[in-house]
Amino acid sequence: MRRVLLLAAAILSALLLQTTIFAEINLLGAKPELMYLITIAFAMLEGPASGAITGFVGGMAQDFLLDAPKGITALTLTLLGYAIGMARQYIVSPSPVLPVVLVALGTFAGVLFYGVVSFLLGQLDSTWLYLLRVAVLSAIYNAILTPLVFPIMRRAAQGSRSRRVVRW
């Protein structure tokens, strides 16, 4: 139950912050992609299943704020959450830079994927160059925000994890 609440709180915060405070603070014209950040963080902390669910719910929530067809962000983030969760199982580096790198790469790949799917649906009105620029800038912006966001999420996730003696 606490996990659900944590997820809901994280997704809601991401949406609110993205549309209010980060509307004015942008990096060379690009906004961060907080939902991508939340999804990757959850996937890193809780595994591929949690990553996929976070991505799906968060993506759907974000989609309903768009005028574009609903579901594209959900699709992108579900796959992204799953991929990061799976990747995390194979990467054993304890480096503190790992979250930043995964967030940067994940955001970049995710935004590109979103652009490609939008293009296939005929919904992409920007040029490929713009897509690339947004992917790079939002990846950097997300990476900058990771050291601030990730520790908070790690603490919250650990707090809401049920206490079990044996963990698979």
Partner 1 sequence: MALRSRARSTRLLVVTLVSISLVTITVDYRQGDEGPLAAASEAALVVLTPLQEAVSKVTRPIGNFFSTLIRLPSIRHERDILAERVKVLEAELSTTQADADRLAELEALFQLQSGLGPKVETAAAQVIASGVSNFEWTITIDQGANSGIAEDMAVISSGGLVGHVTRTGPSSSVVQLIIDPDSFVAGRLEVSDQAGLLAGQGTDDLQMSQLPQDAEILPDERVVTAGYRIAGVGQSLYPPNVLIGTVSRVLDEDSATEKFVTVRPAVDFSSLSLVLVVLSRDGQR
Q: Considering the complex, state which of residue 95 and residue 129 has its C-beta at the smaller distance from partner 1.
A: 129
Residue type, 17: L
CB of 18 to partner 1, least distance (A): 5
Cα angle: 151, vertex 54, 128; to 5 degrees: 95
Q: Considering the complex, state which of residue 5 and residue 26 has its C-beta at the smaller distance from partner 1.
A: 26
CB of 71 to partner 1, least distance (A): 3
CB of 52 to partner 1, least distance (A): 5
Q: Considering the complex, state which of residue 62 and residue 146 has its C-beta at the smaller distance from partner 1.
A: 62
Contact 106, 84 (CB under 8 A): yes
Q: 3-state DSSP call for residue 136?
A: helix
Task: Give residues in contact with partner 1 (CB under 8 A).
Answer: 12, 15-26, 29-31, 33, 47-49, 52-53, 55-56, 59-72, 74-75, 78-79, 82, 111, 115, 118, 121, 124-126, 130, 134, 138, 168
Cα angle: 23, vertex 15, 130; to 5 degrees: 55
CB of 69 to partner 1, least distance (A): 4
DSSP annotation of 121 reads T
Contact 28, 137 (CB under 8 A): yes
Give the list of residues 6+ apart from residue 55 with CB closer than 8 angstroms, or none: 39, 43, 74, 76, 77, 78, 79, 80, 81, 82
Q: Considering the complex, state which of residue 19 and residue 96 has its C-beta at the smaller distance from partner 1.
A: 19
